[in-house]
Amino acid sequence: MTPSLGTVVVTGAAGRIGTIVRAALRDEARHLVLIDRDHLDVQSPAERVIRLDLANLEAVVSAFDGADVVVHLAGVPDEAPLADLLDANVLGTYHVLEAARRQQVDRVVIASSNRVTGFYPVDTIVDPDDPVRPDGFYGVSKVAIEALARLYADKFALSVVCLRIGSFEDRPDEARYLATWLSPRDCVGFIRAAITAPTVSFVTAYAVSANTRRFWDLDAGIRLGYTPVDNAEEYAAGVAGAEVRTDPHSPQGGGYANADYTLRHIHEHQRARTGPSGPR
């Protein structure tokens, strides 16, 4: 196959989504630059591995030299103390955007999350233009990431696509995933479309499979050039609780929207600050 993409940089390349994106783009990119804090081995002549922490802005700028596209997947992937999420997710994304600006990267694709709108009720179909309603600190960090991306698009003419990733699993294995599932095939499809869509200034789209029970509008992703093909309903018979009627007023975030899910991280942060000898 003749590579149709130029030099593509993938941050968080050792992660679950990074691993499938790496495999999918390996033969499509002229060069594939893989960035992660963890060790990675080179698997093809097209690949280059760079081990770094996104906290180091100058190292990120250097790693982006010659990049045509950056797919930013790195970060803390779930609820955590807010300070940790600000460091890893928000500051890390700022460094990615700023490095892309300095290196004149053509397109940045950012992994946002469905959890920026997790407090909408399950009987509502949410459009990317609707006001955000995050279901926790993790969702707040992704709201901030989207705001940074919009700033860089508006102020510096950086082309950015934010994909609000659904529940990425090989197959749905819990009731909520019947609405929120994102299959590996559809995940790659959305990311490929986000890389290749022409004339994009700034776009936010939900990346979710074509689930019968989904909460989110697919039009923005379709306009990018990808229509999802998988449907979690095909697995419903094997999912516990699939037949239970969900309270239409309950939040789309499910358990993520429970107070205790965030409170434990507030308490963890407080314990870290006070320590055994009192406040620091």
DSSP-assigned beta bridge partners for residue 107: 69
Q: Measured between alpha carbons, how far is 126 from 108 in angstroms, rounded to an integer?
A: 24
Give the CATH class of 5-274: alpha beta
Q: Which of 94, 120, 138, 206 is catalytic?
A: 138
Q: Where are the domains of the chain?
A: 5-274
Residue 196 near residue 162 (C-beta atoms within 8 A): no
**Segment 180-237, tens digit of pLDDT:** 999 999 999 999 999 999 999 999 999 999 999 999 999 999 999 999 999 999 999 9
State the SS3 of 183-219.
CHHHHHHHHHHHHHCCCCCEEEEEECCCCCCCCECCH
Q: Which two tokens stand for residue 166?
A: 């659904």
With cut-offs at 50, 70 and 90, classify the pLDDT of residue 280.
Answer: very low
CB 3 within 8 A of CB 46: yes
Amino acid in position 184: P
pLDDT at 268: 81
pLDDT, tens digit, 9 for 90 and up, residues 71-99: 999 999 999 999 999 999 999 999 999 99
Residue 246: strand, helix, or coil: coil
Q: Please, which pLDDT band fits residue 250 given cuts at 50, 70 and 90?
A: very high
Is 120 catalytic? The answer is no
